[in-house]
Structure 1
Amino acid sequence: MTPIAPHITAFLRQRLIEERDASRNTCESYAYAFKLLFEFAAERLKTTPAKLCFEQIDATLVADFLAHLERRRGNGANSRNLRLAAIKSFMRFMQYRLPAALDQIQRVLAIPAKKTESRLVKHLTVAEMQAILDAPAPTSREGIRDRAMLHLCFAAGLRVSELVGLQMADLRLQPEASIRVEGKGRKERCLPLWKQTATAVRAWLAVRGTVPSSHLFVNARGEVMTRSGFEYILGKHASAAAAVCPSLSQKRVSPHLLRHTCALTVLQATKDLRKVSLWLGHASIQTTEIYTRADPSVKLEALESIVAPALRTGRFKATDALIASLHPRAFADADDPSRR
């Protein structure tokens, strides 16, 4: 039996960090996937995670783990597939380190990803988005910071990791306000800022003060803002905005919802899917096509450019009550004793 601990350590530190130069978010996601897997396996096999062996992580256990994610933890198909992708990446890494287990590895690699539903992208209306942006009170340091974060997250269509990862050096206010964003796969993009967004950011810089962190946004202790910290801030202001815009109470407002709203705003303004892809930093324009299904204006243009088939014309004439009473059938019914 082969202890799995040394191999998973080599995978996370050697394969991901040194060989693939994976981002911190990728490493954390993979590590969390294995944490869930090993906790499940330890409970199933009545042992401790440190004593698990590679031979015990077979296709049957992995399939049961994926079912556990959906049934017990309530994960959707996308989350399930992400965990499976991490496991398969580790198994491909083990092909060279443990050739004797090739049959076991191939069985795990043969587990298919689950088909996901292709739903319309959820987004906020103009009134809902404006209510959230207006929720922070710009009369305190926290309110000014929150307003700048919300404006920047929406206007630039940032992922939450991109927002909290912004450095002071990434911001440029002269001659034109812009930010440099490092997205997935370390792909960089430069985005101009609306005047309103630049004004909100300048107001934050005026009260930010001197803090040890080089990140643009910091918490009350002067430390870097975390993902959960911004999610809390967004949820708090979304709840406050629901008092002004009641429709917000029916929606789950998340940082990614602001990103979707930005994408549809850019698409409606430019009618150019390529510009939306560049704005969001997508690796492929196929990823951006989901927004065309959610934007009705694209379909309206198609309707306006197509000649619709003609309808047959005619008038419907209702039978006059007096004329109907003079019909011969009316008298026949009157003479029939069975109808009296």
Structure 2
Amino acid sequence: MMKPADPFPRLLRTFFYERLAEQRNVSAHTIRSYRDAWRLFLRFVAERRHCRVAELTLQALNATEVAAFLQHSERERKVSIGTRNCRLAALRSFFSFVAERDPTAIEQCSEVLRIPTKKAPMPVRHELHMHEIEAILAQPDRTQLEGQRDYALLWLLYNTGARIQEVLNLCPADIRFDTPNCVRLLGKGRRERICPLWPETVELLKALLQRQPCASNERLFVNRYGMPLGPSGVRFKLSQYVRSAAAVVPTLASKKVSPHTFRHAAAVHLVAAGVDVTVIRSWLGHASLETTNHYAQANLETKREALRRLQPHSKVDKPPPWRRNEDLLTWLESL
């Protein structure tokens, strides 16, 4: 009698193709993230059990293996707590799906689902001041196509406060070049938002399109081979510009600057300008106001101004009006 096939391969395929892609309609980025987490997890378990990945069964993928994988990710692979939690979310999502499809595995799935996410300390964010942003923007050689592209991209990041992938996904059709100038961004959770553009930003994008024309549905930012530019390429170029700018503005040498730093700088500068936090939330495309509060922290100058307003008045200020009234003082002394 043949041994019944283990349900794990079928469940994993159904999870990716039906649950994620069809039923939940998650983004391609989410699917890739979940795929990478599962690829690492399966290789880890197979190595621990001295077998091939194809020989793994659903029963073998228990809470003990998940906990060991998370610990290995932090200690051996040196991933951040945030990455650790993202990988746990990818595993949890599958086991939640399995619990619905296979009632006999509910106990195993519930043990995995009880593994908690780990809290991470909130680091002090390195905010960019305006003169530092200007120093970085002065580095690309705008006489070259690559420099013109990088200048427009970094300027657009600061103008919109967009995530790097949101900007890299842009096509000319997403930009309104007529008044009122704006851009349509597609963010996390497929949430779409409209962000206003400065006239200077529009002129930079027009100039880039004149020098490097593309169809309305093609990516605006491409590499030297005409292929869509990736986040890693932007980070590499930005790190070069920051190192060059640090020779002019030394404070940049001690700051970790990434494309996301421009997003944070936009939020901080909006707060300093007195923009309401709910408007900033819409501007940045956050689902929760709590997330906006993490990014849009007041800068030091704003804090100093708030402290100045709270500072008690000096004791050497003018005396109260009743002390400056001679007739009232005379009357009080006569009592």
Identity %: 38
Structure 1 match to 2:272:
268
Match of 1:118 in 2: 122
Q: CA deviation at 1:248?
A: 1.8
Choose the corresponding residue for 1:149, options 142, 149, 153: 153
Q: 1:296 aligns with which of 297, 300, 315?
A: 300
The reply on whether 1:54 has 2:78 as its aligned counterpart is: no
Distance 1:145 1:278 in 2: 27
Distance in 1 separating the partners of 2:191 and 2:156: 19
Give the secondary-structure state (helix, strand or coil) at the position aligned to 1:224.
Answer: coil
Give the AA of the match of 2:265. Answer: T
Q: Quick check: 2:267–2:296 contact (8 Å CA) kept in 1?
A: no
Is 1:88 aligned with 2:92?
Answer: yes
- Equivalent residue runs for 1:245-324 within 5 Å: 245-291=249-295, 293-306=297-310, 308=312
> How many residues matched?
312
Query: Which position in structure 2 is the counterpart of 1:74?
Result: 78
- Cα–Cα, structure 1 residues 74 and 292, in superposed 2: closer, same or farther, change >3 Å? same
Alpha-carbon distance in 2 for matches of 1:292, 1:148: 24
* Change in 2 beyond 3 A, CA 1:299/1:203: same
**Counterpart in 2 of 1:235?**
239
Q: Does 1:161 align with 2:191?
A: no
Give the whole-Å Cα distance in 2 for the aligned partners of 1:303 and 1:246. 28
Contact between 2:271 and 2:298, CA under 8 Å: does it hold in 1?
no
Indicate if the aligned counterparts of 1:11 and 1:90 stay in contact, CA closer than 8 A.
Answer: yes
**Structure 2 segments unaligned to the other structure (5+ residues):** 316-335
Asked whether the equivalents of residues 213 and 223 of structure 1 are also in contact (C-alpha less than 8 Å), the reply is no
Deviations 1:186-240 (A, max 9, x none): 1111111122222221221111134797111111111211222222222222222
Instruction: After TM superposition, give the deviation of residue 6 of structure 1 in Å.
Output: 2.4
Q: TM-score, normalised by structure 2?
A: 0.87
Query: Comparing 48-57 with 206-215, which one deviates more in the overlay?
Result: 206-215
Q: How does 1:186-197 map to 2 (within 5 A)?
A: 186-197=190-201
2:326 equivalent in structure 1: none
Describe the shift of the 1:189–1:212 C-alpha distance in structure 2 as closer, same or farther (beyond 3 A): closer
Matched, 1:174 2:181: no
Kept in 2, the 8 Å contact 1:132–1:237? The answer is yes
Counterpart residue type for residue 127 of structure 2: H
The answer to whether structure 1 residue 30 and structure 2 residue 30 are counterparts is: no
Contact 2:136 / 2:241 at 8 angstroms: preserved in 1? yes
- Calculate the TM-score normalised by the size of structure 1: 0.86
Compare 117-126 and 264-273 and name the one that shifted more. 117-126
Distance 2:197 2:125 in 1: 24
Structure with larger Rg: 1
Which residue in 2 is equivalent to 1:108?
112
Aligned to 2:321: none
Contact 1:136 1:144 in 2 (8 A): yes
The structural deviation recorded for 1:33 is 0.9
Deviation sequence 1:234-264 (CA, Å, 0-9, x none): 2222222222222222222211111111111
Q: Residues of 2 paired with 1:25 and 1:204: CA distance?
A: 27
Structure 1 letter corresponding to 2:114? A
Query: How far does residue 177 in structure 1 lie from its aligned partner after superposition?
Result: 2.3
Shift in alpha-carbon separation, 1:293–1:267, aligned structure 2, 3 A:
closer
2:15 to 4, 7, 11: 11
Whether the aligned pair in 1 keeps the contact of 2:171 and 2:216 (CA below 8 Å) is no
Q: In structure 1, list runs of 5 or more residues that go unmatched.
A: 312-340
The DSSP-based 3-state class of the residue aligned with 2:59 is helix
Give, in whole Å, the separation in 1 of the partners of 2:7 and 2:132: 54
Secondary structure of 1:55's aligned partner: coil
Structure 2 residue aligned with 1:184, among 164, 183, 188?
188
Structure 1 Cα separation of the partners of residues 130 and 301 of structure 2: 15
- 8 Å Cα contact 2:172-2:215 kept in structure 1: no
Task: Give yes or no for contact 2:152–2:205 (8 Å, CA) kept in 1.
Answer: yes
Q: Could you tell me which amino acid in structure 1 is paired with residue 22 of structure 2? A: E
